[in-house]
Structure 1
């Protein structure tokens, strides 16, 4: 399963059924789980743990040193879960000692060509990154978020669950859950209603989220006053509670 032209360090731990293509290089302190396929010309450096049933396409650089001038060779790491697709020319860097110490990618993510995931980022499950989406350091991408092609996420931003980022957008503040945003700088463009319907959200929950969106984005209220109004209706729907909690906890402020 390992091409004779690949180089696999003796200190790497590779499951028996892992496939590694020609000219790929697997360094020490790399762990690759069962069922994972690594294409040709891939470089994977450690410390790095890759789970099961992933597909990593050619010319990707996985687990390289962080692009941070403060980095001084500390043994930080990259963690990748299961069933992810990582397409051509993607770069996923390790963490920094000043940050989390690790970069983490969850399960079932679809990461298209030329995507960059910088140091200390946290990527959840079931996300989609279109071509050239770029994360600066310390970014948090929550479950089911979709990033359009060539969008840019500023460091320390959080992209909420089930949100949709339009192509070419520049994100410099947090994006609350369930929203559609786009532009440079990004602005809100309503609820990601179609995405929510596809994922099985009830009509009642979507209606409640529409009301919550109008309170925050269409009422002319300050964020503080909007949260006070949301407090009156968030108990009825967990989705509204999550929306309100995200806004209340945002440290960078929200796209608005």
Structure 2
């Protein structure tokens, strides 16, 4: 490992092989840094935090400090960050709380750009990109391959499905279906994330079937549950469609809908 003389590594910290800790970094006593982790300079990793192998933390990131929750009373909550992540300048990530499962978790291969904030008790999947100054409030769940553009944000308890795309400066207050594109303030669905799906190698016919199901689910006739059931019956073997169906059926919160539709609640009759 390589530790700059000006860095502070508190007793008890667990440091893996090949770790690099640059000038003026601070690593707390309950921190675990996996093999090949790099803290470039002026970064702080504290609390009961584990950082996966080959993750890079840029200057002035604050990782693992106490949550921004007035109910937090010093409980031994945790923060885990996966492998091969990039945490850019001025990112802040908070651990969990007793009111939310006691943990915040970030998956593998995530890119958190400048000024991103991830609040307490959030669960993030793999291959997520959060662009500059994106804010994620507490208790949110963000599934694999989600992209959130600059200055966007989510309210507490929001669930964003896999492969969704959130446009710049979008305010997300309701759950977002997998593979959806969401824009605006207030946020509204604008269709399927076709560009993202093509870039990730999804079959063209599968995307076409997903678009057809999307139009069925978010039509104006009947209830949301009826439309979801119709789409499920039409495409029983299409994985993308069934992902959306399962997400809608399991939703316990309002969904982000196209701007021309009335507000529905999941499961309404």
TM-score range relative to shorter protein: over 0.9
SS of the equivalent of 1:74 reads: coil
Q: Which residue of 2 aligns with 1:178?
A: 179
SS of the equivalent of 1:235 reads: coil
Q: Which residue of 1 aligns with 2:198?
A: 197
Q: Which residue of 1 aligns with 2:218?
A: 217
1:132 matches 2:133 = yes
Answer yes or no: is the 8 Å Cα contact 2:18–2:36 preserved in 1.
yes
| TM-score normalised according to structure 1 size | 0.98
SS of the equivalent of 2:24 reads: coil
1:219 to partner: Cα distance: 4.1
Unpaired runs of at least 5, structure 1: none
C-alpha distance in structure 2 between counterparts of 1:51 and 1:132, whole Å: 23
| TM-score normalised according to structure 2 size | 0.93
Answer yes or no: is the 8 Å Cα contact 1:234–1:244 preserved in 2.
no
Instruction: Report 1:138-149 matches (<5 A).
Output: 138-149=139-150
C-alpha distance in structure 2 between counterparts of 1:234 and 1:140, whole Å: 27
Unpaired runs of at least 5, structure 2: 258-269
1:226 to partner: Cα distance: 1.1
Instruction: Report 1:1-256 matches (<5 A).
Output: 1-256=2-257
Answer yes or no: is the 8 Å Cα contact 2:152–2:169 preserved in 1.
yes
C-alpha distance in structure 2 between counterparts of 1:185 and 1:95, whole Å: 28
1:231 to partner: Cα distance: 2.3
Query: CA-to-partner distance for each residue in 1:117-143, whole Å, 9 max, x for gaps?
Result: 000000100011000010000000100
C-alpha distance in structure 2 between counterparts of 1:201 and 1:174, whole Å: 23
Number of equivalences: 256
SS of the equivalent of 2:80 reads: strand
SS of the equivalent of 1:167 reads: coil
Query: CA-to-partner distance for each residue in 1:139-178, whole Å, 9 max, x for gaps?
Result: 0010000001011101101011001000000001000000
Stretch deviating more after TM superposition (216-225 or 5-14): 216-225
Instruction: Provide the alpha-carbon RMSD of the alignment.
Output: 0.9
